[in-house]
Amino acid sequence: GIASVIVYMPKLHTEVISLSIFRVPLPTKGALDLAAMTAGGEYHPLALQAAPMTSDEISRVVGRYDFGPDFYRKNATLELANGPDGLVLKWPGGPDGPYVASPVLVTDDHHFIDRHYWTRFSVETDASGRAVGLTFGKFKGQRSPDGPTTPVH
């Protein structure tokens, strides 16, 4: 299914229509930002981290994160991994193998955007800087015990 948002701006004789796959929170925020840009109002531009993450920063966030039965994919484990072209978020299942590797945009060392679903997510750390959880939209996953990771092709 699809998710849709329509923002009607009668003074400008304009409508902004945003479509996305179902359950992805992009349409509302994207439509409101587009409407604000069109009307000359305030919006929140996408701000990406200019410098690549250091290997130390990457090592603090990569890992597997377990989600509950209410997640998009019931009881899924997502893996944030270091791929050949940067960070990727591995989703279970896919047409070409055991997972789908989605490229990740970095907004800072703990905040990211999954390019597959265009959804913001963040990694929470404890006082020692160790990753303990990943928040994807409204869902919170807990860090899995460290173990072997699947290679990124």
Contact 86, 52 (CB under 8 A): yes
Q: Which long-range contacts (CB under 8 A, 24 or more apart) does 140-145 make?
A: 140/67, 141/65, 141/66, 141/67, 141/71, 141/77, 141/78, 142/65, 142/66, 143/63, 143/64, 143/65, 143/66, 144/63, 144/64, 144/65, 144/66, 144/77
Question: How does pLDDT run along the chain (153 residues), one tens digit per residue?
Answer: 677 778 888 888 888 888 877 655 566 777 788 888 888 888 776 777 777 888 888 988 999 999 999 998 899 999 999 988 889 999 998 666 678 888 999 998 889 989 887 788 999 999 988 899 999 988 999 999 865 455 444
Fill in the amino acid letter for 22: F
Give the whole-angstrom CA distance, residue 142 versus residue 76: 11
Which pLDDT score is estimated for 139? Answer: 94
DSSP per residue, 46-87: ----SSPPPHHHHHHH-EEEE--TTSSSTT-EEEEEEETTEE
pTM: 0.72
DSSP one-letter code for 144: P
pLDDT score of 78: 95
